[in-house]
Amino acid sequence: MDILKHYINGQWVDSNGGETLDVINPANEQPCGKIALGNEADVNAAVAAAKAAFPAFSQTSREERIELLEKIIAGLTARKADLAKVITAEMGAPAWLSDMAQSVMGVAHFSEALQMLKDFEFETDRGPTRLRKEPIGVCALITPWNWPLNQIACKVAPAIATGCTMVLKPSEIAPFDAAIVAEVLHEAGVPAGVFNLVNGDGPGVGAPLSCHSDVDMVSFTGSTRAGRLISKAAADDIKRVSLELGGKSANIILPGADLAKAVSKGVQTMMMNSGQSCNAPSRMLVPADKHDEAVAIAKKTAEALSVNDPYAEGVYLGPVSSDVQFEKIQGLIQVGIDEGATLVTGGTGKPEGLEQGYYVKPTIFANANNQMTIAREEIFGPVLTMIPYSTEAEAVTIANDTPYGLSGYVYAEDQAEAAAVANQLRTGMVHLNGSGSDTKGPFGGYKQSGNGREWGEFGFEEFLEVKAMFGANPA
């Protein structure tokens, strides 16, 4: 698949930059297509189109935007198989995961935005004062490669629903699903200039987009390092910046929990998507007197997970996304060994028989402590660190002893016990006893995991300004 144009002002246009970039299939290390690399001139054209479209689109009625979202949902539903196919090719998710999870998140977030829009209160009266929530303006949306369609949809859907216009820069590692989204929006009749797509890398497109004086808001999902750069680039114009960044989530297994169930579920959740999820439970905290038993369960679970070509039958882990990601993970696994953590299974090198492709062995370390590098840095690969604790208070202290605060996991004898511990965690989300996420709930974190919230009502709020109209409702 080749995407050699950008989508600007309702049409596919030539890139001002003359360079292209091969998109590498991580399963075989071969190009699966290419994109045009945009530059500042492309960004300027896209922002100008979004700025010109904002006055009219911001005044569209709730009913008009509802109709638009319904058409987009129908379009994404019709293209589900295409989306699943390109996501597997561009970032390596197993075909079943692309089909059952990766490709369905577009419809999930647009459907949630549709339901929110039907009942959302854009105006409320408080005594004589009327509060209006109005679209913030032109939005720069910068998205990652690990759950590419999910992150595009949870930004584009609320932006359209609230009446904003936007420029999307998808990850250059996984850009093809974004092109399909652009086609769907075009066919749905999204007015010219409301949605624009410029492909490229961070320095060429992300940087000029973040500091553009006509951009009112930047919504970014990615690494904490890149989030810092975007915040600095956006600072001169005092524009709103919403960040969903990294994580090093703790999975606290309390003494009364079903150990076999909690450990096996924790390993499977960690290894899902080859460990490339910002909210993955990468630190497993287990009672010290059950540590060895938990390690044995974890080892058995991890070694039963098949690593193979994404299209192979029964595969649970495909490759990681790129050579850069592969080398980073290999380096951190070696650091874990060098620092003295017990290597339970996995380790450096590729799985036997998989010499081509960026495949990583599902790796588990035990007898670790929270000061080790593998317990503090986000590895973003299939690597689990197991840490023993003596008391519940110590477990909470270890869990909170991190610069991140995205998610947490608690397994307990019952929900009330799990909730009591969850209340003490400095994280934006907590999963109790294996519960999944909910598109109605806010997604985001504390500390260096970011400063915004996505999904549902909170996702709407990111794209709205509040205006107080004093005396609009006199007694």
Q: What was the pLDDT predicted at 422?
A: 98
Our answer to whether residue 67 is catalytic in this structure is no
Distance CA 178, CA 182 (A): 6
Catalytic residue among 90, 112, 172, 244: 244
Closest CA to 215 of 122, 141, 318, 320: 141
Q: What was the pLDDT predicted at 119?
A: 95
- Domain range for residue 342? 250-438
pLDDT band at 135 (very low <50, low <70, confident <90, very high): very high
Say yes or no to pLDDT of 475 above 80: no
Q: Indicate if 197 and 267 belong to the same structural domain.
A: no
User: Residue 375 domain-assigned?
Assistant: yes
Work out the widest C-alpha separation in the chain, in whole angstroms. Answer: 77
Say yes or no to pLDDT of 200 above 80: yes
CATH number of the domain that 332 lies in?
3.40.309.10
Distance CA 244, CA 275 (A): 17
Q: Indicate if 157 and 229 belong to the same structural domain.
A: yes
Q: Indicate if 279 and 336 belong to the same structural domain.
A: yes
* pTM of full prediction above 0.85: yes
Q: Indicate if 155 and 303 belong to the same structural domain.
A: no
User: Residue 443 domain-assigned?
Assistant: no
Q: pLDDT for 262-305, tens place per residue? A: 999 999 999 999 999 999 999 999 999 999 999 999 999 999 99
Closest CA to 124 of 456, 474, 473, 464: 473
Catalytic residue among 90, 278, 454, 462: 278
Q: What was the pLDDT predicted at 388?
A: 98
User: Residue 74 domain-assigned?
Assistant: yes
User: Residue 475 domain-assigned?
Assistant: no
The tally of domains found in the chain comes to: 2
| Mean pLDDT for the stretch of residues 196-219 | 97
DSSP classification of residue 313: T
User: Residue 474 domain-assigned?
Assistant: no
Say yes or no to pLDDT of 159 above 80: yes
Say yes or no to pLDDT of 337 above 80: yes
Q: Which residues are within 8 A (CB) of 33 and not within 5 positions of it... i.e. 6 or more apart?
A: 1, 2, 3, 22, 23, 89, 90, 176
Q: pLDDT for 311-322, tens place per residue? A: 999 999 999 999
Q: What was the pLDDT predicted at 432?
A: 98
pLDDT band at 474 (very low <50, low <70, confident <90, very high): confident
Q: Indicate if 90 and 73 belong to the same structural domain.
A: yes
b/e sequence 430-458, b meaning 16+ C-beta within 10 Å = bbbbbeeeebeebbbbbbbbbbbbbbbeb
Amino acid code (one letter) for 444: G
| Mean pLDDT for the stretch of residues 427-455 | 96
Q: Indicate if 393 and 459 belong to the same structural domain.
A: no
| Mean pLDDT for the stretch of residues 434-452 | 95
Q: Indicate if 106 and 224 belong to the same structural domain.
A: yes
Say yes or no to pLDDT of 92 above 80: yes
Q: What was the pLDDT predicted at 17?
A: 82
Q: Indicate if 403 and 287 belong to the same structural domain.
A: yes
CATH number of the domain that 197 lies in?
3.40.605.10
User: Residue 444 domain-assigned?
Assistant: no
398: how many CB neighbours lie within 10 A of its CB? 19
Q: What was the pLDDT predicted at 67?
A: 98
Q: Indicate if 266 and 237 belong to the same structural domain.
A: no
CA torsion 159→163→167→170, rounded to 10°? 20
Closest CA to 245 of 422, 458, 405, 408: 405
Our answer to whether residue 244 is catalytic in this structure is yes
Q: Indicate if 314 and 222 belong to the same structural domain.
A: no
User: Residue 288 domain-assigned?
Assistant: yes
- What distance lies between CA 75 and its chain's CA centroid? 22
User: Residue 445 domain-assigned?
Assistant: no
Q: Indicate if 269 and 381 belong to the same structural domain.
A: yes
Say yes or no to pLDDT of 363 above 90: yes
Q: Indicate if 35 and 145 belong to the same structural domain.
A: yes
